[in-house]
Amino acid sequence: MLESFRFLEFNFPWRSYQANLLKHFNTHIEDNHFHVIAPPGSGKTILGIEIIRKLNKKTLVLAPTLTIRNQWENRLQTFFTRDEDFEPFSFDLKAPKDITFSTYQSLHAFYKTFEDKNDYYAFFKKHNIQTLVLDEAHHLKNAWWTCLIDLKENIPFHLVALTATPPYDSDRTEVAKYFKLCGDIDDEIAVPDLVRETDLCPHQDFVYFSKPEDLEINFIVEYRKKIATFNDELIEDEAFISFLKAHRFYKSPKYHLEAIYSNTEYFSAILIFLNACGISIEKEKLELLGFEGDETIQFPELQLEWLGVLFQNLLVSDRELLIDHEVYLMRLEKKLRQLDVFRKRKVDFIGENLLYKSLSNSPSKLKSIVDIVKAERENLKEDLRCVILTDYIRKEFLNSQKELINSIGVMPIFQFIRSSCSHKEDLAVLSGSLVIVHKSVLEPFNKIESCDSFSFSPLEIDADFLVVSSKIKTKNSIVSIITKLFEDGDIKVLVGTKSLLGEGWDAPSINSLILASFIGSFVSSNQMRGRAIRKDADKPDKTGNIWHLACVDITDASGGRDVEVLKRRFDAFVGVTNNDVPFISNGIDRLNFPEHFLEEDIDVLNEVTLKRAKDRGETTKKWEDSIGKGTRLTKDVRLFYIGDKPFTRQRQLYYFDAIRFFVVELMLAISVFYVEFILRGINLVVQRGVLYFIYAFLAAFLFSFGLKLYRAITLYVKHGYLYKKIQNMGLSILDTMVELNYITTNKEALIVTSSLVNKGDVSCSLLGGNAYESAVFSKALSEIINPINSPRYLIIKSSFFRKRLDIENFYPVPEIFGDKKAKALVFQKHWNTHIGKSKLFYTRHKEGRRLLLKARLAHVHNAFKKVSKEVMVWK
């Protein structure tokens, strides 16, 4: 042990969730990685210091900001030393000691000073630094990654990564880089653990919906009309149809199979468009792609998504190979630019970015904020501590009347609250370049720091408010002064930017948080949300309300892009459901919003939401009831029921279709084939009696129709008990994980559960495993049941029943088992045991590529449907 580490010891008892995480540390660090997810308030820093102590190596700790860097040293001296401070630490990367605290920016700047990177590696070897700790590791999506991965690939390290939210919503390349550096997730501290231990307060998320302004609605309607007209005209456009029929993929597919295999979406879009035009696709083309003579493809409708795929390739990806048609393509491009669907080499017929930009910044959300502040003030009165976070300051509205405001930001929010709410003296603004307070707080302000050190300029539009600026450097920064005024209740409603207050800022008294931020990932959303769920030592009964805003596109049944973005962000939030019998889960489904939004329902939804938000005692009770029902967060894989009819009705139809088919066939057979049997049976009756005749008839019946009867019954049972099939898939995955040593938990403690939930969805999960095992299991199952992408191996088993039940006949071997044939064969063995016999195909050979294309085309109707999702549930 390093001599200096002998005197480090945690001075307090470990929380149960912290002790449990540390108990498994030795197992997780065997691969030299320890990657932990821990929410704000869980003591990540303290856990990190304990891990440093356990590893007993010279350590470099990296943080995203100087504030967080300094917190590490503070926690070290406060919680791990007794009689004297720990001396061998450094803040200087160039002069490291036993523990060096620095920032990612500093390391990146240090890295750039070395022309010869061998000198960079030699520096760390010379100083014998053997442990790297990456705090708030989700920040590693940018250039800081380079100097770290370079170091990791050239020097062996123990690497400890700590984060509240992995960057799952970044693009695949960034996510891959993140996990390449940090390793797979080893363990996770769950929010319910912290609420149970009172380290976080009970809390609930609420969504307040708004309707677009008339101008926004007209813009959306006109946009959709233009696209619909273009679509209708295109289907009748003989020139475009002829152009596609002459495309090399359609005209001569057998000469372009490799290109088709590598871009099946493009080829699918061509076929789907031509099919929508009434063009019959020749069987020879389909046979070339692997379909038998009597097989057909059920082409989906020509959705705008398919039109987008088609034109993205025609105008961008495939354009160089269509150079002979450049004049025609230029005309198409011009038309799309006029429609506002082609910008920056990106085709978008849905209008996601165009319409989202309009709705996400809709002034209607300013009215939502006013409604929320009024309701929270009426409910909490003097106890209100509300923070509103947004993206931009928008100083141009510093002295604007609210009627002139047409976008959202710090100043628009301030102006709406100032002019619409009572108790305006409670209001203040805190951002990096603009601070505004009410004149009534000058006296308590002066008690914290002399007002003589600041200048206070009256706001032109309302002299009761003062713009604050510092004259000289003071002991307390303006941020700490405003924070103290907020904590003391002199300020009750604080409007600020997420860049200043979203991460690292600490004000435990916050009991109402309004997230008016619409850019950035759910990483930043979760960080902002963490401000409101911290416990308040002065108010142990605190509950936190977190408010989210969404402007509903009333021309879209699903609510539009703004609602969709909010739904995705909710995947990162764990909380209690609104059910009568609550449980803890992630995702927006826990709030029980309707799948389809009607304009007339929005006001009713908001009234119900405000009523629920008022009953904070019920929020506390739901957490208490829900926490007792489980012990840990487990990943569920949800397979959505996506039939055209309700699940129960669809199952009845399959049942009655099967029975009706069987009865009709039976009657026809009796009338045709059994006439002779019955005529001959007269002799049997005469010679051997009626009983013998009946036995003979039943034997003939069972011989001819017993199998059909069995299949008809099986058809219904299989559709009604699809969750059993999913469970068998899960068992195949689990047995493969065990055989390939992906499991460290005793297999006897592991259970694969599957059940029907909601209105026909299937839920499947692995119980009893650790976070890593649960993540591997759910990822593998999701890959199997989702539309096929590009697996290295396919498992194929076709039958009449699977086609009739619309269950995939082609299954990808999950990526974790598909990197080597030996692993794929192990998976196939267990698949055969639990599912039935199958064939394994390698998709990188010609035959395998053909089958892969067939697999995609056979189920092309699922391409833009959300087939499944992973859900965190406390069990």
What gap in Å lies between CA 107 and CA 802, rounded to an integer? 56
Residue located via tokens 């006439």: 675
Pick from 194, 224, 52: nearest CA to 135:
52
**pLDDT tier at 116, thresholds 50, 70, 90:** very high
What gap in Å lies between CA 158 and CA 57, rounded to an integer? 9
**451-485 confidence digits (pLDDT tens):** 999 999 999 999 999 999 998 876 678 999 999 99
**806-834 confidence digits (pLDDT tens):** 444 789 999 999 989 999 999 999 999 99
Residue 243 has pLDDT above 50, yes or no: yes
| pLDDT on residue 40 | 79
Evaluate if pTM is beyond 0.75. yes
> Which structural domains are found in the chain, ordered by start?
3-189 (3.40.50.300), 203-213+362-630 (3.40.50.300), 215-350 (no CATH), 647-719 (no CATH), 720-874 (no CATH)
Query: pLDDT: is 286 or 742 the higher one?
Result: 742
Contact between residue 768 and residue 751 where contact means Cβ atoms under 8 Å apart: yes
Long-range contacts of 823-827 (CB under 8 A, 24+ apart): 823/736, 823/740, 824/792, 824/793, 826/736, 826/739, 826/740, 827/732, 827/733, 827/736, 827/795
Name the helix (H) or strand (E) containing 389.
strand 386-390
| pLDDT on residue 692 | 55
| Edge-to-edge strands, sheet with 203-210 | 203-210, 544-551, 512-516, 386-390, 493-497, 427-430, 435-438, 462-470, 454-459
**358-392 confidence digits (pLDDT tens):** 788 889 999 999 999 999 999 999 999 999 999 89
What gap in Å lies between CA 731 and CA 737, rounded to an integer? 10
Residue 63 has pLDDT above 70, yes or no: yes
| pLDDT on residue 683 | 55
| pLDDT on residue 807 | 46
| pLDDT on residue 835 | 86
What gap in Å lies between CA 827 and CA 781, rounded to an integer? 12
SS3 string, 302-365, reads CCHHHHHHHHHHHHHHCHHHHHHHHHHHHHHHHHHHHCCCEECCEECCCCHHHHHHHHHCCCHH
The encoded tokens of residue 664 equal: 């009709």
**pLDDT tier at 717, thresholds 50, 70, 90:** very low
Highest mean pLDDT among 607-621, 681-695, 843-857: 607-621
User: Coil, helix or strand for 467?
Assistant: strand
Percent of the chain with pLDDT over 90: 51
- Listing DSSP states for 178-233 in one string gives HHHHH-S--EE--HHHHHHTTSB--EEEEEEEEPPPHHHHHHHHHHHHHHHHHHHH
**752-788 confidence digits (pLDDT tens):** 999 877 666 888 999 988 777 888 899 899 999 888 8
Eight-class DSSP state of 644 = S
| pLDDT on residue 144 | 79
**pLDDT tier at 523, thresholds 50, 70, 90:** low
The encoded tokens of residue 837 equal: 């016999």
| pLDDT on residue 293 | 57
**612-666 confidence digits (pLDDT tens):** 999 999 999 999 999 987 888 888 888 876 654 443 434 443 444 444 545 555 5
Query: pLDDT: is 691 or 782 the higher one?
Result: 782
SS3 string, 802-826, reads HHHCCCCCEEECCHHHHCCHHHHHH
**pLDDT tier at 805, thresholds 50, 70, 90:** very low
Q: What's the rounded mean pLDDT across residues 439-444?
A: 96
What gap in Å lies between CA 68 and CA 63, rounded to an integer? 6
End-to-end CA distance of the chain: 40
Residue located via tokens 């100087």: 66
